Structure 1
Amino acid sequence: MDIIESAFFKVVLATVQRVSEEDIANFRVLVKILPVMVTLVPYWMVYFQMQSTYVLQGLHLHIPNIFPNYPGNNSVALGVQDSGYKIPEAWLLLANVVVVLILVPVKDHLLDPLLLRCKLLPSALQKMALGMFFGFTSVIVAGFLEMERLEYIHQNQTVSQQIGKNVYYAAPLSIWWQIPQYLLIGISEIFASIPGLEFAYSEAPRSMQGAIMGIFFCLSGVGSLLGSSLVALLSLPGGWLHCPKDHGNINNCQMDRYFFLLAGIQAATALLFMWIAGRYERTAHGPASQSYPSRDRG
């Protein structure tokens, strides 16, 4: 009986030791990957602007009528005579979708093979840095557009337009001027989000790939939450987005400064990301994140 118990405890001890060593090795890999993923959080703050402040900015730009004779936008009760069918302001989000649908196949089937033949194909980490640059450029463009919009507002050059049940006093600048910032954020998604997923999955140990993917999407949610928190903070009295007279009316706000603040945060963390990514590639075995690595850990 003692012999059986001794053999049993030896097997249990060996199993626990083996699992512990494996867990420690996986934890070390996780510690190396997490800083890279965390530095993407400010990018997500920028990315989700297209679903919030970009739309709000669009409501205060002139939205042209597509069908001038369409009576759907008349509103005698609100005192707004604006006949014609206006495009929904959120439709510009389609610019992001279209650029992703078009450029992803072009990149995968034309650009990447060409760069691979020329031995110039960037790593996933390098693509992520490029995506951050495009995100930075998007909010810079949005900031300059907002500066121009506010110039018209301060000169009392406005047009009233009814959207739904609300009347907005917009600058006489066409909403089409927002297209560049939406296109740039779409391009940034191709280079930051997709390679980010690729990096997270390929560099994770096999036993932790699901957890790493969950962390990746969790951090994107953290970025969205931080962006909303920053808006709430700047909406307090004295803040750039404080508009007590009319909630949602940005004509008396300084949203251009908010965009430039986001650009500054993105630029600073992009530099931090490049430093962390450089250390990762130097410490990992070989170039850590070639575009399509196949790593079998665990």
Structure 2
Amino acid sequence: MLRADVDQERSPLLNRNTFRNSLTISDDDDDTYKEKIGKIHLKYEPKVPIFSPQKLAIVLCILFVELCERLAFYGVNANLVLFCTSILDFTSNDATNVSLIFSGSVYIIPIIGGFIADAWSNRFNVIFASGLIYLCGLFLIVCSAVNYETLFNETNINPDVETLRIFYIVGLSLVALGTGGIKANVGLFGAQQVQDLGTQAVQVYFNWFYWFVNAGGLIAFSAVAYVQQNVSFTWGYVIPLISMIIALILLNVARSFYIYKPRQGSVLITSFKICHQACSRRSPEINGKRSTFDSARKQYGGSYDDVTVDGVIAVLRVLPIFFFVIMFWAIYSQMQSTYFLQGERMDLNVGGGQIPVAMLNVFNTIAVLISIPILDRIIYPCFQRIERPLKYMHRIGIGLILSAGSVFIAGWVEIERKKQFGFDQVVGDEKFYSSNMSVFLQVPQFMLVGAGEAFTNIAGLEFAYTQAPNTMQGLIMGIYLATAGVGNYLSTAIIAIIEATTKDDPWFPDDINDGKAEYVFFVFGGLMVVFFLGYLPAAYTYKYKEFATDKEAAATTSGNSQATTVKRTFNEDSVTIF
């Protein structure tokens, strides 16, 4: 759908080692390349990818859509535990489970969102439809928080708590569905708008995409959380509703200018069929060796071409790496659950006022926003200059270690917190017997998770995007996002097992003042150490792959030996961000 002149205009951005054999490149000097095609000689000056005004406007629309959606999501999630305990009369344990299951679902559902976009619709339609579902859920959540007697100036018209719970749980379910559909597609939809500018532009996009994600979280965990805790939950939930309306308006502003890719059928179903065929047919022997998936290739009697089979193999190759990221998300989920319960029982008073418990998440966001430019402008270039670049496997591993440090610090804070009980504290509409320790002693554990996120999650997103062909992008991104969901479910399971095995001497009772929550944190830290030790051999043996762009695949298929093409892969030895 791109014009030929646009392709020609962007061709100077191509790296010389990405041209095919039909092109020969010679260096005139460090700043100029000469391209030779037959008898035609063209000189190009390499440039850093620059977005045209129209392209920039399109990308900004998508980035602000993500900011507004994240503001809405975190606006719901920030004080979820507090709302459940103070308004809906859930126990602390039940509220924690609601939080973890909700957070887990919003990362599992993207697999379905990606499937629908691939099989039946396109990414834009799925994003927009998911946004409408999202709005319905947010409206029900507002309904669960409204004081109807005050609103209508009548008495005895407030619904009972069971009705409010139904409104809230159904609303959360719809928000989870909407979030899943958006999350699976909005990142890739934005990436395909800049893919014609080269891999560096895609990398810049992903970093700014993640920056906008955290900017939305920053607003939610500070301003929205403050309104919910100190003004009212009604207005605190109206803000996410308005934010989502703005997101849908922004999404439609540039509707006529987006680059749309036609759907190519369900990659998920095709992948299952290839795996079934590969396992059910005997593999041919090639040079004395057998490869399971060769039996699915057309050239050996199977039903699928090499590109499709190789794509499935690529997805399977990354699954071991994704598996070890699950524990990172299990620790990440503690910020809205166990860390929140811990913070409720610490001193929230600052300068005569009270800060929201959820505001501690701001320090996680700040850590991410600060870490990204420092890593990309200082740390990564330094390692490249000494010819020891931090590749995806290194960066993911560093994030795993930092997350383990977070829960170990949380365990220490819990031990010290219980040594200094001193006063009753009202948070929202609920009273807690609290420690004299300032809640700001939680800052290091939040910031370590944020720093780990800057390493693990950004590297994970880029890793997922680059280690599979274009046809598998939606599937592999959905699988990566699902690791966060599985991590939340794993956290729920770990806490449930701890509760079941420590009934006689509870580690995690309804009031953590009466338990041993520090042991819970140490269990999470110990499990991360085990996961990290398992990650090391998987990371060490992983081999990076390169995959062709749509244009390259088309050129190869048509037999056009003169086509100018580019590999869709990140060159980790020459990373330039911002």
Is TM (by shorter chain) over 0.5?
yes
**Structure 2 contact 384–574 (Cα < 8 Å) conserved:** no
Q: Secondary structure at the match of 2:425?
A: strand
Q: Which amino acid aligns with 1:116?
A: Q
Please give the alpha-carbon distance, in whole angstroms, between the structure 2 residues aligned to 1:232 and 1:289: 41
Task: Tell me the residue number matched to 1:279.
Answer: 541
Query: Which of 119, 133, 141 is equivalent to 2:409?
Result: 141
Task: Tell me the residue number matched to 2:482.
Answer: 218
Task: Tell me the residue number matched to 1:161.
Answer: 425
Please give the alpha-carbon distance, in whole angstroms, between the structure 1 residues aligned to 2:303 and 2:465: 24
Please give the alpha-carbon distance, in whole angstroms, between the structure 2 residues aligned to 1:228 and 1:292: 40
Please give the alpha-carbon distance, in whole angstroms, between the structure 2 residues aligned to 1:96 and 1:209: 29
Please give the alpha-carbon distance, in whole angstroms, between the structure 1 residues aligned to 2:333 and 2:480: 15
Q: Secondary structure at the match of 1:57?
A: helix
Task: Tell me the residue number matched to 1:263.
Answer: 525
Q: Which amino acid aligns with 1:143?
A: G
**Structure 1 contact 159–170 (Cα < 8 Å) conserved:** yes
Is residue 60 from structure 1 mapped to residue 345 from structure 2 by the alignment? yes
Q: CA offsets per residue over residues 60-96 of structure 1, 9 Å max, x none?
A: 1111233x2xxxxxxxxxxxxxxxx200111010001
Q: CA offsets per residue over residues 227-286 of structure 1, 9 Å max, x none?
A: 12222332333464442xxx3x211111100100000110110111111111113xx569
Q: CA offsets per residue over residues 161-196 of structure 1, 9 Å max, x none?
A: 111111111121111110111111100001111101
**Structure 2 contact 321–539 (Cα < 8 Å) conserved:** yes
Moved over 4 A (4+): none
Q: Which moved more, 1:55-64 or 1:125-134?
A: 55-64
Q: Which moved more, 1:130-139 or 1:98-107?
A: 98-107
Point out where structure 1 has 5 or more consecutive residues left out of the alignment.
1-12, 69-84
**Structure 2 contact 508–517 (Cα < 8 Å) conserved:** no
TM-score by length of 2: 0.42
TM-score by length of 1: 0.78
Is residue 291 from structure 1 mapped to residue 572 from structure 2 by the alignment? yes
Task: Tell me the residue number matched to 1:76.
Answer: none
Q: CA offsets per residue over residues 126-178 of structure 1, 9 Å max, x none?
A: 110000000000001001111112233xxxx3221111111111121111110
Is residue 116 from structure 1 mapped to residue 397 from structure 2 by the alignment? no
Greater RCO, 1 or 2 (C-alpha within 8 Å, sep 6+): 1
Point out where structure 2 has 5 or more consecutive residues left out of the alignment.
1-297, 547-568
Please give the alpha-carbon distance, in whole angstroms, between the structure 1 residues aligned to 2:518 and 2:542: 36
**Structure 2 contact 507–519 (Cα < 8 Å) conserved:** no
**Deviation for aligned residue 1:209:** 1.3
Query: Which of 468, 487, 491 is equivalent to 1:204?
Result: 468
Q: Which amino acid aligns with 2:383?
A: L
Is residue 29 from structure 1 mapped to residue 29 from structure 2 by the alignment? no
Q: Secondary structure at the match of 1:40?
A: helix
Q: Which amino acid aligns with 2:348?
A: I
Is residue 127 from structure 1 mapped to residue 391 from structure 2 by the alignment? no
Q: Which amino acid aligns with 1:104?
A: I
Task: Tell me the residue number matched to 1:78.
Answer: none
Task: Tell me the residue number matched to 2:218.
Answer: none
Is residue 86 from structure 1 mapped to residue 354 from structure 2 by the alignment? yes
Is residue 44 from structure 1 mapped to residue 329 from structure 2 by the alignment? yes
> What is the identity percentage for the equivalent residue pairs of Structure 1 and Structure 2?
29
